[in-house]
Amino acid sequence: MTSMEHVLISPDDEAGVVALAACASHIFPKALKAAIELDIFEIVGRAHGDGLSPSEIASQLPTGNVDRTVVVLDSLLRLLVTRSLLTCSICKLANGSIERRYGLALAGRFFVGDENGGSLVPYFDYVSRDEPMQQISFKDAVLEGGNIFEKPHGKSYYGSLASDPESGRIFDNAMGAHSTMLMKKVVKIYNGFEGLSSLVNVGGGNGATLDSIVSNFPSIRAINFDLQHVVQIAPSYIGMEHIGGDMFLEVPKGEAILLKFVLHNWGDEQCTKLLNNCYKALPNKGKVIVMECIMPNSPQTDHIHATYVSQQDIVMAILSQGKERTEDEFKAMAMGAGFAEFKVVCCVYGIWIMEFYKLVQPNQIIG
């Protein structure tokens, strides 16, 4: 036990450190960006055994001053450990000094590429350089009631991506990377795709999400539905048909409809309109599969899921008319659109999978 461990830290002292850490919260994204640019996760991920020392990592970096690099690098590595991206073990050397050796933590592996391109690096690249978010005043967003992107730009955030090919490319790469990571696990633990004859992905973009499903469930007849200009440039996939249209007017019919990260982009009125259209497009006993974050009823501290969904919630409020919702809010929307049953099925990387079932009684008129 060290001398420090004998000292009692009061709740007031702890609170003060929390406040100080909040003041310095801008530092970590810069550190993570540097780690990604230096391929730290790739380098550490290739190591075996008890990890690598800062000097061993530095020897693989393009530096002309290894000794000085080791000092700064060790500081960077320690910060990554505090965010559970790296592990650290202590080795006592023959001269009595200690050496820190770093390994890849479970969370850190998401910044290492695999054969399927499953890395969050493109996603981080997007959020770290997202100029619209950097230019927006959160104070003004609060005072003006959110959705303040459209006023100075004359178009919605997503409209701006459509008119700026480079920004659109970065956004698509980011969403693709996130989707690859997410769907790789979804198809393994969620059994709701089994036995489906047809599946419509509303707001499916370029079709990559639907392709990951059909690749594992090839008997499904798949329809990827999005705006006409989106599906026009979407690649062809085996077993998938692209259809363009407006989801607020009508959606294609299918045994099941997938809404992945769609509802949080819109306010309650638009979501109700969309869910009404989904209800009409489903057969009796059909279902809508919703993939979204679920907001806790009460904000929570020291809970990574609550932190993540709260971050997403304020982004949606600022950039669009959308928001993240609680379980009760999702259930109310489902029931309000005529669905008879609501289920929360499972959770993957903070994204919840819910099912809304259409169950029509014999004496009811089927929509």
Summarize pLDDT for 278-330 with one digit per residue, the tens.
999 999 999 999 999 999 998 877 788 889 999 999 888 888 879 999 999 99
- Whether residue 13 lies inside any domain: the answer is yes
Angstrom distance (rounded) from CA 127 to CA 190: 28
pLDDT tens digits for 168-191? Answer: 888 888 888 899 899 999 999 999
Query: Residue 140 sits in a domain of what CATH number?
Result: 3.40.50.150
Examine residue 363 and state whether it is found in any structural domain, yes or no.
no
Among 311, 324, 351, 348, smallest CA distance to 130 is for: 311
pLDDT of residue 246: 97
Q: Is residue 367 part of a domain?
A: no
> Does one domain contain both 176 and 305?
yes
Domain count, the chain: 2
Q: How many CB atoms lie within 10 A of CB 4?
A: 7
Note the pLDDT of residue 344.
98
Q: Is residue 365 domain-resident?
A: no
Say how many residues make up the chain: 367
56 with 151, same domain: the answer is: no
Show which of 92, 111, 130 is a domain's final residue. Answer: 111
pTM: 0.89
One domain, residues 347 and 316: yes
User: Quick one: which H or E segment has residue 285?
Assistant: none
CATH number of the domain residue 83 falls in: 1.10.10.10
Q: Answer yes or no: is pLDDT of 3 > 60.
A: yes
Q: What pLDDT score was predicted for residue 365? A: 52
193 located within any domain = yes
> Best-predicted range by mean pLDDT among 63-67, 148-152, 245-249?
245-249
Which of the residue ranges 140-154, 163-177, 208-222 would you say has the lowest mean pLDDT?
A: 140-154
Name which of 82, 85, 80 is nearest 107 in CA terms.
Answer: 85
What share of residues in the chain are helix, strand, coil (percent, to 5)? 45, 15, 35
The pLDDT > 70 percentage for the chain reads: 95
Residues 127 and 107 grouped into a single domain: no
Is pLDDT at 276 greater than 90 in this prediction? yes
Which of 116-130, 208-222, 223-237 has the least mean pLDDT? 116-130
In a domain, 116, yes or no: no
Q: Are residues 100 and 138 located together in one domain of the fold?
A: no
Position 364 in a domain:
no
Local confidence band at 161 (pLDDT 50, 70, 90 cut-offs): confident
What average pLDDT does the segment 243-258 reach?
Answer: 98
pLDDT value for 131: 64
Q: Is 139 helix (H, G, I), strand (E, B) or coil?
A: helix
* Per-residue confidence (pLDDT) for residue 133, from 0 to 100: 67
- Answer yes or no: is pLDDT of 237 > 70: yes
Look-up of token digits 């819109």: 266
- pLDDT level of residue 366 (50, 70, 90 thresholds): very low
**What is the residue range of 70's domain?**
3-111
One domain for residues 32 and 163: no
Which residues have CB under 8 Å from 224's CB, separation 6+? 201, 204, 205, 207, 210, 231, 234, 237, 240, 241, 242, 243
Domain closes at, from 111, 146, 176: 111
Q: Are residues 212 and 300 in the same domain?
A: yes
- The verdict on 185 and 67 lying in the same domain is no
Q: Is there a single domain that holds both residue 103 and residue 133?
A: no
240 and 338 both lie in a single domain: yes
Q: Is 264 annotated in the active site?
A: yes
Condensed to tens digits (0 to 9), the pLDDT of residues 95-151 reads 888 999 999 999 999 999 876 657 899 999 988 876 666 677 888 888 888 777 777
Tell whether 75 is covered by a domain: yes
Work out the mean pLDDT of the chain and round it to a whole number.
91
Q: Which range scores top for mean pLDDT: 45-54, 65-74, 247-256? A: 247-256
- Kindly list the strands in the beta sheet with 351-357, ordered across the sheet, starting from the edge strand earlier in the chain: 240-244, 221-226, 198-202, 256-260, 287-292, 351-357, 341-348
Mark which of 111, 142, 165 sits at the end of a domain: 111
Residues 48 and 180 in one domain: no
Which of 26, 48, 242, 264 is an active site residue? 264
Kindly state whether residues 145 and 86 are assigned to the same domain. Answer: no
